[in-house]
Amino acid sequence: MINYSKQTIDYKEINAVSKVLRSNYLTQGPLVEKFENKISSYCKSKYAVAVNSATSGLHIACLSLGIRKKDVVWTSAISFVASANAAAYCGARIEFIDISLNDYNLDITSLKKKLIEAKKKDKVPKAIIVVHFAGNPCQMDEIYLLKKKYKFKIIEDASHALGAKYKNNVIGNCKFSDMCVFSFHPVKSITTAEGGIITTNSKNYHSDLMLYREHGIKRVFKNKKLRPKYYEQIKLGYNYRMNEIEASIGIEQLKKLDNFINQRIKIFRIFKKKLNNNLFVYPNISKNSKSSHHLFIILLKKNIKKIRDKIFLRLLKKGLGVNIHYMPIYKHPFYKRKNFFLKNSEKYYNTCISIPIFPSLSKNQQNFIIRTINSIK
């Protein structure tokens, strides 16, 4: 079975972990801060705050924006549930935006229409969580202009998009947003096993993120007469810290990031060139963008879920670890609403199949994937 994705680890990560295990620090040590600085440097942001998952990062990003009960937060209908859950943890009401079938990101036309209606009803969202789906950047300049017009905040859910660029801006530099969140789950651009990070250019957000990450505890005070290791709880925070073992892996993985992305780009181009089964539509990349190619998603031309499901099972039986990314969030029982329907999101869900793509995918595996998909009738 060829998995749809997997991590790429070698002796360098293993040696780094071994070194941590022989050190004095396993949790709160120097490597987490070193990793934060390296991510900040790579993304060209002023600050970075490492956490134990992207979900935790999205949660405290929402808290730092002051999102509370009765606030409204919008996000893309097609994403992992964490994109919505983060705001729900704060008590916010979640609303969903339809996607474009061109790049699977939130549809700008739908967003504009929804904002016009929300303005009439005085229900403009406090924040929009923008998802760079499959590593393909959203049209951030247009969303940023809408932010200025309608006065909402922007969190970039870039869980799929470390290493991506939009109009020569590295995703994570926060030029068009308040904060940006990355995931380091094993199938992402780089891994720390579990883990995530938030980038921002705001000193205030950075201070809040640091507090929320560590139980709401403040440890640095101007009064130097206080006893060593004195601390005070300032906010109700969480234990969302990244540990030294994870950070050590991340430092080594980051050195390989550009190579990983280049390998994904090569595989993407080969698939685009050689996949010629006319049953499917193949992915496009947003204009002026560089995708991290976290996923390669093909869409069945016929909007018939039963046919997609049959093809999906056939590919599994042939040894392709295909997947579905994702069911519209509003269709999950927790979020389900009566008669709620977004046309493009429904069509996408009925027709999507994620096929394997990852840096160490061999030529033989690539050719097998191409032959197998092209043979489907």
Are the C-beta atoms of 130 and 157 separated by less than 8 Å?
Answer: yes
Rg (CA), the chain: 21
Are the C-beta atoms of 132 and 162 separated by less than 8 Å?
Answer: no
Measured CA to CA in angstroms, residue 81 lies from 78, 88, 135, 180, 325 at distances of 9, 10, 17, 17, 11
Cα–Cα dist 195/247, whole Å: 9
At residue 92, the pLDDT reads: 98
At residue 115, the pLDDT reads: 98
Are the C-beta atoms of 49 and 209 separated by less than 8 Å?
Answer: yes
Cα–Cα dist 34/36, whole Å: 5
pLDDT tens, per residue, the chain with 377 residues: 999 999 999 999 999 999 999 999 999 899 999 999 999 999 999 999 999 999 999 999 999 999 999 999 999 999 999 999 999 999 999 999 999 999 999 999 999 999 999 999 999 999 999 999 999 999 999 999 999 999 999 999 999 999 999 999 999 999 999 999 999 999 999 999 999 999 999 999 999 999 999 999 998 776 666 677 788 999 999 999 999 999 999 999 999 999 999 999 999 999 999 999 999 999 988 879 999 999 999 999 999 999 999 999 999 999 999 999 999 999 999 999 888 999 999 999 999 999 999 999 999 999 999 999 999 98
Cα–Cα dist 179/181, whole Å: 7
Q: Can you tell me whether residue 65 is helix, strand or coil?
A: coil
At residue 224, the pLDDT reads: 63
Across-strand partners of 281? 299
Measured at the CA of 96, the angle between CA 347 and CA 85, to 5 degrees, comes to: 115
Other C-beta atoms closer than 10 Å to the C-beta of 33 total 13
CATH architecture of 2-254: 3-Layer(aba) Sandwich (3.40)
Q: What is the DSSP string of 210-243?
A: HHHHBTTEE---S-TTSPTT--EE-S---B-BPP
Q: Do the domains at 2-254 and 257-374 have one common CATH topology? A: no
Helices then strands (H, E): number in the chain? 11, 17
The structure tokens 């405290």 sit at 60
Look up residue 75 and give its amino acid.
Answer: T
Q: Which CATH superfamily is domain 257-374 in?
A: Aspartate Aminotransferase, domain 1 (3.90.1150.10)
At residue 220, the pLDDT reads: 78
Other C-beta atoms closer than 10 Å to the C-beta of 34 total 16
Across-strand partners of 97? 76
Cα–Cα dist 29/239, whole Å: 15
At residue 226, the pLDDT reads: 67
Measured at the CA of 31, the angle between CA 193 and CA 169, to 5 degrees, comes to: 75
Spatial neighbors of 74 by CB under 8 A, at least 6 apart, are: 94, 95, 96, 97, 114, 125, 127, 128, 129
Question: Given CA atoms 159, 156, 175, 146 in this order, what sign does their dihedral have?
Answer: positive
Q: What is the DSSP string of 265-301?
A: HHHHHHHHHH---TTEE-----TTEE-----EEEEES
Angle between helices 203-213 and 54-64 (to 10 degrees): 120
Q: Can you tell me whether residue 27 is helix, strand or coil?
A: coil
Q: Which helix (H) or strand (E) holds 97?
A: strand 93-97
Are the C-beta atoms of 154 and 177 separated by less than 8 Å?
Answer: yes
Lay out the sheet containing 352-355: strands in order across: 280-281, 296-300, 352-355
Q: What is the DSSP string of 286-354?
A: -TTEE-----EEEEESS--HHHHHHHHHHHHHTTEE-B-----GGGSTTT--TT---HHHHHHHHHEEE
The full set of domain ranges for the chain reads 2-254, 257-374
Q: Can you tell me whether residue 198 is helix, strand or coil?
A: strand
